[in-house]
Structure 1
Amino acid sequence: MMSWWNQFEFVFPWLLPLLVVAPLLWFWRIRKNLNREVSLRLPSTQSVRGLRSWKSALRPFLPLLRVAAISLFIIALARPRLDLSEESVTAEGIDIVLTLDLSTSMGATDFSPNRLEVAKQVARDFVSRREFDRIGLVVYAGEAYTKSPLTVDKEIIDRFIAELQMGEITDGTAIGTGLATAVNRLKESESASKIIILLTDGENNAGYHSPELAAELAEEFGIRVYTIGVGSGQQTLMPSSPLGGGKYTFKPTRGTVDDKLLAYIAETTNGRYFRARDTEELESIYDYIDELEKTEIETTVFKRYEEQFGRFLLIGLALLLLETLLRYTVLRTVP
């Protein structure tokens, strides 16, 4: 109901103040009739008791029908209508490939509960905000593979990210292979804007592709790479060897991030390198990228109206006709 009322408007709203005229005329008529009434003295009211009928009770309210009819005519003159505007949204989305490190070092506990779980949650929040974009998912450790090609189905991407676990891939940190795999997913894209968000907590120590060469390939295909280095830089507990069933033994260690390499990748591709030492910094990095990479949205509004004055006019005529019929038939008065 509220939505319908919000669409309601008048072409000539300056006529609406005339609505007070009809009630004022009715009150003036009642006052005039009261002043013209004459009294008749009777020795007793016994003789007129019971003379009042339902007709006499309704007769004073008969003019209200005319008041309502006149009010509806005034509303009709103001030309009420419904605004049925329609919007056509054309969005030029961005193609984004999230590239996440699944090496065992991502189980380090300097982020609570660990780096991987925090990275997953922040990435899921980011995906939920990219309404018009196609998003793909690449994961890597000692090797790399495409978890999901580019898609607009955000629920699928969200589920895939939520299911990520360490141990899915041979251990290691193949940054070059992960980046090359992501580039391969975007190189055929015709989108005006193509970006990769590559997250890692270590140094390149595996894979068959040089990170520098992968960066040059990304630059060649017009792909911008945002690199994120994760880790507090302080001594923390890090998984060392698997126990089976997704469990690991932990040992205290101080992980290192190859800031120089990640900065080179970002600079080569006209991107930017970020360092996240805690959860809040990682969240702010994704927020910054979200603001930086805005999707272009073009909205075209088509104006269409539905005239409503006919309804008010017909109801007003019906009330005026009813008032006339009642006045000269059922509620007729004898002069």
Structure 2
Amino acid sequence: MDMNFEIAYPWVFFLLPLPILFYWLLPPLKKRRTALKGAFFFRSAEAMEVKPQESAWISRRNILQWLGLSISWLGILAAASNPKLVGQPDMKVKTSRSFLVVADISFSMDTRDWAGTDGKMYTRWEGVKQVLGDFIEKRKGDRLGLVFFGSNAYLQAPLTTDTEIINWLLSQAEVSMAGQMTAIGKAIGFSHELLQADSLDHKVMLLLTDGADSGGGISPLVVATAAAKDSVTIYTLGIGDPNAPSSDLDEATLKAIAEETGGQYFLAMDEQQLAQVYETLNALEPMEFEEEEYRPEQLLFIYPLAFSLISGLIITLIITLLKFIRR
């Protein structure tokens, strides 16, 4: 990665002559030192006709001391200016929506009447998994979650931006893992509770099923109305041919759920139709995500600060050693 050198606060170096200014303007620091007292000092001064005056002895610094102070001050200023290496700006995706996929894996999803684009016949769940995986992979701007339902609803993947783990969990799911019934009401109610706990305002639910609600005391329309009050949009997707003798797809209920929450109902009878449904859904719910400019930075202030401390320590040791040698 290409990195450029930058100084965040270059104006700090205008403080470089500050110690000299203090040296000129402030008076010298006076220190009391041990003095030899004479009993006849004033008599001697009178005899010599000399008038005693108050005075002070000013300690002079040698060149090593001045060098050490200068290097330390320069290092402190260099550290305070916050030097750093800055990389090229990248765009950081900020998620703005929660998208919960609620998939039916009841026993009926094992029906082998799903026509693939390769001309082969698959079970409904096999076809849904393949196309749903591609759809999930494209929703990189959303926080995605995965709920499977049959007789009951179960959380398979919590809301996350990691589409790879969601696709892996999707690939591991099999029909009847959640029971053989189709509890649509329970699935919507359970999913609504998950979205209620989420902090994002924009919440979308995609409900896939090939059957009718099996009851269980929870009406799909009642829980859909409650979800609509919390600004949850539900898109419903019917799987399979509703006119087939073995089909019990309740299109009327799915349409009512979508209408109640401001969503839309889709019907997919084969792989090609399902892919078109997902394209339409991408247009209805475009990936609205915010972008933040992120620039990788490596702070360098520690280096001039360490140089200042180490050089000051070395010069202090040299001065102490020279004094010791002179003695």
Q: What range is the shorter-chain TM-score in?
A: 0.5 to 0.7
What's the offset of the Cα at 1:234? 4.9
Equivalent position to 1:92, from 90, 95, 103: 95
Equivalent position to 1:257, from 249, 256, 265: 249
The aligned residue for residue 33 of structure 1 is: none
The aligned residue for residue 135 of structure 1 is: 144
What's the offset of the Cα at 1:205? 1.2
Letter in structure 2 aligned against 1:256: D
The TM-score, its normalising length taken from structure 1, stands at 0.57
| Separation in structure 1 between the aligned mates of residue 235 and residue 213 of structure 2, nearest angstrom | 17
The aligned residue for residue 274 of structure 2 is: 282
| Separation in structure 1 between the aligned mates of residue 98 and residue 159 of structure 2, nearest angstrom | 7
| Separation in structure 2 between the aligned mates of residue 149 and residue 301 of structure 1, nearest angstrom | 27
- Are 1:172 and 1:206, in contact at CA under 8 Å, matched by a contact in 2? no
The aligned residue for residue 44 of structure 2 is: none
Residue 296 (structure 2) pairs with residue 296 (structure 1): no
Aligned length in residues = 208
| Separation in structure 2 between the aligned mates of residue 172 and residue 152 of structure 1, nearest angstrom | 31
The TM-score, its normalising length taken from structure 2, stands at 0.59
The aligned residue for residue 104 of structure 1 is: 107
What's the offset of the Cα at 1:277? 1.7
Q: What is the SS of the residue equivalent to 1:298?
A: strand
| Separation in structure 1 between the aligned mates of residue 143 and residue 294 of structure 2, nearest angstrom | 25
Residue 186 (structure 2) pairs with residue 183 (structure 1): no
Q: What is the SS of the residue equivalent to 1:131?
A: coil
Q: What is the SS of the residue equivalent to 1:203?
A: coil
| Separation in structure 2 between the aligned mates of residue 168 and residue 300 of structure 1, nearest angstrom | 44
After superposition, residues 49-68 of structure 1 pair within 5 angstroms as: none
After superposition, residues 71-90 of structure 1 pair within 5 angstroms as: 85-90=88-93
What's the offset of the Cα at 1:167? 2.1
Cα offsets for 1:298-329 (capped at 9, x unmatched) = 35498xxxxxxxxxxxxxxxxxxxxxxxxxxx
Any gaps of 5 or more consecutive residues in structure 2?
3-86, 115-120, 296-327
Any gaps of 5 or more consecutive residues in structure 1?
5-83, 236-252, 303-335
Q: What is the SS of the residue equivalent to 2:122?
A: coil
What's the offset of the Cα at 1:85? 4.6
Q: What is the SS of the residue equivalent to 2:103?
A: strand
- Are 2:96 and 2:200, in contact at CA under 8 Å, matched by a contact in 1? yes
What's the offset of the Cα at 1:88? 3.6
What's the offset of the Cα at 1:139? 0.8
After superposition, residues 1-335 of structure 1 pair within 5 angstroms as: 85-111=88-114, 112-235=121-244, 253-293=245-285, 294-298=287-291, 300=293
Closer/same/farther in 2, CA of residues 179 and 170 from structure 1, 3 Å limit: same
| Separation in structure 2 between the aligned mates of residue 182 and residue 228 of structure 1, nearest angstrom | 16
Q: What is the SS of the residue equivalent to 2:192?
A: helix
| Separation in structure 1 between the aligned mates of residue 294 and residue 160 of structure 2, nearest angstrom | 28
What's the offset of the Cα at 1:292? 2.2
Closer/same/farther in 2, CA of residues 207 and 123 from structure 1, 3 Å limit: farther
What's the offset of the Cα at 1:291? 2.7
Q: What is the SS of the residue equivalent to 1:136?
A: strand
- Are 1:227 and 1:274, in contact at CA under 8 Å, matched by a contact in 2? yes
| Separation in structure 1 between the aligned mates of residue 239 and residue 273 of structure 2, nearest angstrom | 10
User: What is the aligned-residue RMSD (CA, Å)?
Assistant: 2.5
- Are 1:138 and 1:145, in contact at CA under 8 Å, matched by a contact in 2? yes
